Amino acid sequence: MHRSIVPSSHPRAKSLYIRELLVNGFKNGIVVEEGLIAHGRGETFDYLLGEDTTETARTAIKAACSLLLLAVHPVISVNGNVAALCSKEVVELSNIINADIEVNLFYWSKKREMAIEKELKKMGAKTVLGTRSVDSTRIPELQSERGIVDYDGIYKADTVLVPLEDGDRTEALVKMHKKVISIDLNPLSRTSKAATITVVDNVIRALPAMAIEAKQLKEQNGEILKRIVNEFDNSKNLSESLEIIRCGVDARYG
Question: Rule CB under 6 A: is residue 184 a binding residue for ligand PTJ?
Answer: yes
Q: Which stretch binds ligand PTJ (CB under 6 A): 50-58, 99-107, 129-137, 154-162?
A: 99-107
Q: How far is the CB of 34 from ligand PTJ (least distance, A)?
A: 4
Closer residue to ligand PTJ, CB minimum distance, 101 or 225: 101
Question: Rule CB under 6 A: is residue 168 a binding residue for ligand PTJ?
Answer: no
Q: How far is the CB of 164 from ligand PTJ (least distance, A)?
A: 4
Spatial separation of the C-alpha atoms in residues 242 and 245, rounded to whole Å: 5
CA angle, corner 173, sides to 167 and 174, nearest 5? 90
Question: Rule CB under 6 A: is residue 77 a binding residue for ligand PTJ?
Answer: no
Closer residue to ligand PTJ, CB minimum distance, 79 or 237: 79
Q: What track of x and - describes contact with ligand PTJ for positions 186 through 225 (by CB under 6 A)?
A: x--x------------xxx---------------------
Closer residue to ligand PTJ, CB minimum distance, 79 or 241: 79
Is the distance from CB of 234 to CB of 191 less than 8 angstroms? no
User: What b-and-e string marks burial along 150-161, b requiring 16 or more CB atoms within 10 Å of the CB?
Assistant: bebbbbebebbb
Query: How big is the site for ligand PTJ, counted in residues (CB under 6 A)?
Result: 26
CA angle, corner 174, sides to 168 and 178, nearest 5? 130
Side chain identity at residue 69, one-letter code: L
Question: Rule CB under 6 A: is residue 59 a binding residue for ligand PTJ?
Answer: no
C-alpha gyration radius of the chain: 17
Give the N- to C-terminal CA distance of the chain in Å, as an integer: 42
| Torsion sign, CA atoms 54, 188, 30, 100 | positive
By CB under 6 A, name the binding residues for ligand PTJ. 32, 34-35, 38-39, 41-42, 45, 79-81, 85, 105-107, 164-166, 183-186, 189, 202-204
